[in-house]
Amino acid sequence: MALGSNSERDMKFLVVEDHPLYACALESVIISSMPGVQVVLASTIAESKTALEGGSYALVLLDLWLPDSNGFEGLIELRMRRPSVPVVVISAFTEPDVIHHSIACGAAGFIPKSATKDALVRDLREVLAGNVPMPEKYQPPPTGDSPETEALRSKLDFLTQQQLRVLQMMCQGLLNKQIAHELGIGETTVKAHVSEILRKFGVCSRTQAVLGVARVPRSADIVMGLVEDRGRPLQLQGARKQLIS
């Protein structure tokens, strides 16, 4: 459902794009087509994190490849910084695996840079309405188990039920404090679980762990299935439930 201009009035969008000409073009299209929307520009993930700390945003429009970010890492960082703010990827790279990984890492939609002005505005309004716009010709990856899926399953087998729940929330972009609240445990306990997850995954950061999960098609179903197999399914108390894929 498209939102009218009255609903959009006083909204603020953050556009994260390192090419000045394209950034200004996006700003111009949004302002002319969505009266009342304010656009803030950032050219790096660092600038965007500073902007998010200093204001309330209706959505973020993010280019994946930036000077201080390697692909999906910036997307995950922004999702972790502000889980409640939808991040929409806009990219010239429209290969199916790029689209899939964007959504798997928490993007609220994917817009090709080749999109028309009308299509761009329509998709932004779809995001504001709670939908997930995708390129028309996008086809999800096949459901059969790949070597990557088998590798993920083998790692998940070493996690306890509580560690699986923590990993699930990490992939949803929640911070340790939020995870502690949802699970009813101490933040120190959450940190211990995160450290164990990183050790068992053989990675050094939670971003690498989330990327490792997000690369696998339908990883949300795999993790949820293991949680259910080992006990009561995870029930979120306050955070918005979002699938990994």
Residue 22, pLDDT above cutoff 50:
yes
Residue 141, pLDDT above cutoff 80:
no
* pLDDT one-digit tens code per residue, 147-192: 777 888 888 888 888 998 899 888 888 889 999 999 999 999 999 9
Share above pLDDT 70 across residues of the chain, in percent, rounded to a whole number:
85
Write down the pLDDT at residue 238: 41
Residue 243, pLDDT above cutoff 90:
no
Residue 241 banded pLDDT, cuts 50, 70, 90: very low
Please provide the average confidence, as pLDDT, over all residues in the chain: 84
Residue 239 banded pLDDT, cuts 50, 70, 90: very low
Domain map (residue ranges) of the chain:
7-128, 147-229
Domain 147-229 has what CATH class? mainly alpha
**Domain at 7-128, CATH from 3.40.50.720, 3.40.50.2300, 3.40.366.10, 3.30.1300.10:** 3.40.50.2300
* pLDDT one-digit tens code per residue, 53-90: 988 999 999 999 899 987 788 898 898 888 889 999 99
Q: What is the DSSP string of the chain?
A: -PPPHHHHTT-EEEEE-S-HHHHHHHHHHHHHHSTT-EEEEESSHHHHHHHHHTS--SEEEE-S-BTTB-THHHHHHHHHH-TTS-EEEEES---HHHHHHHHHTT-SEEEETT--HHHHHHHHHHHHTT-----TT--PPP-SPPHHHHHHHHHHTTS-HHHHHHHHHHHTT--HHHHHHHHTS-HHHHHHHHHHHHHHHT-SSHHHHHHHHHTSTTHHHHHHHHHHHTSSPP--SSSPP----
